[in-house]
Amino acid sequence: MSGETVVVTGAAGYVGTYVVKELLSRGYRVRATVREAGDRKKTAHLRAMANEEQLELHSADLEVAGSFEQAMAGARYVIHSASVVQLTAKDPQREIVDVAVTGTRNVIQTAIAAGSVKRIVMTSSISAVVSNDRDQRYIFSEGDWNDAATVKSDPYGVSKVESERTARRLVDGKGVEFVAICPGLVLGPVLCDAHLRTSPAVLYEVMSGKFPAIPNFFFQVVDVRDVAIAHVAAMEREKPSSRYVCTASAMGLRQMAEIARRTCPRAKISRWPMPSPAMYALAAFDKRLSFSFLERNLDSVPTFDNSRIKKELGLNFRPVEVSVGDTARSMEEGGFLA
């Protein structure tokens, strides 16, 4: 119901920003948590959305126990989107998994302790759903968990599985409802530099000429505006399911490059295809790539059943062509391209 208070963690991030925008457009009061609320540059895109009455900014760090207390006091809903979004790290257990799990524990325990929170919606991922040990024809859905992931092979997958399960365990029997939204690769207009850090980086690198040749990657894509709608719909629906796969459909990076070229003819986009075996060699040196990611996304991509979210939350996904074109245009118009 409009006017109620919603806490959004990771609010300055790519997904978090659009969740805040969607909530404000529906009349909610938002408490946005970021690590440094006083950092005017990092939060300018949020501050521009509403006045301080509708949108409060709070400093909170996933790794600091108790830091979400002030933001949660008296809130009705929590949308927990903050996490470490990277596939590899020097110490993946500590830098990716522990931050996500400890942070989720802090957020959920604080929400329960607040006493006013009715429901928590968490941004999980298809990385918590899809595992590399299934037949190529298998269709993944909400009942699947990525139990094949290990910290060595896929620390990001482990972080999403463990943090979602931790949240479920903590709310059990505490009278607080829980819903997880599991998006695919998120695309759509970027609003600031920091939004180039996660999924839009794929298109950014293609458009700024950083790929000398285009790998045969495929992704299950969803538009960031639809991801935001999904979170708010899960928050508002009277009796939601506890988990929703949130992907529109699959598209290859080469097709994305073609759309970006048509949308932004001046961008420096390679026309060369990168042979797939070369990607495995490259992954040994490129910190952003993991073998598990290549196994899942090179030459094909797993299939998902997204019927539950369409039926129960009324999602009417934008076509991926639109998401890719809008992402490309926002990078050019925002002056983000090198």
Axis crossing angle, helix 40-47 with helix 14-25, rounded to the nearest 10: 30
| Of 5, 88, 110, 125, the one binding ligand NAP by CB under 6 A | 125
Q: Where does this chain touch ligand NAP (CB under 6 A) — which range of 75-83, 106-114, 311-319, 322-330?
A: 75-83
Per CB under 6 A, which region of 10-18, 146-154, 252-260, 289-297 contacts ligand NAP?
A: 10-18
Helices (H), 68-214: 69-72, 92, 99-114, 155-171, 201-207
Query: CB of residue 119 vs ligand NAP: minimum separation in angstroms?
Result: 17
Q: Which of residues 86-105 bind ligand NAP (CB under 6 A)?
A: 99, 103
Place of tokens 């639809």: 226
Site string for ligand NAP, 302-321 (x = CB under 6 A): --------------------
Residue 272 Cβ, how far from ligand NAP at the closest point, in Å? 26
User: Interface residues for ligand NAP in 133-172 (CB under 6 A)?
Assistant: none
34 sits in which H/E element = strand 29-34
Instruction: Using the minimum distance from each CB to ligand NAP, give the nearer residue, 59 or 268.
Output: 59
- Residue 285 CB neighbours (<10 A): 7
DSSP SS3 for 201: helix
- Whether 160 is a known active-site residue: answer yes
- Strand pairing of 119-123 and 77-80? parallel
62 in contact with ligand NAP (CB under 6 A): yes
- Token pair of 73 as six digits: 């006091």
First to last CA, the chain: 43
Task: Please report whether residue 35 would count as binding ligand NAP according to CB under 6 A.
Answer: yes
Closest residue to ligand NAP in the complex (CB): 13
Q: Least CB distance from residue 275 to ligand NAP, whole Å?
A: 26
Q: Looking at residue 267, what DSSP letter applies?
A: S
Question: 58 - beta bridge partners?
Answer: 33
In the set 41, 90, 152, 160, the catalytic residue is: 160
Torsion sign over Cα 24, 164, 99, 130? negative
Q: Which residues are the active-site residues? A: 160
Summarize as ranges the residues that interact with ligand NAP (CB under 6 A): 10, 12-16, 34-35, 61-63, 81-85, 99, 103, 123, 125, 183, 185-186, 197-199
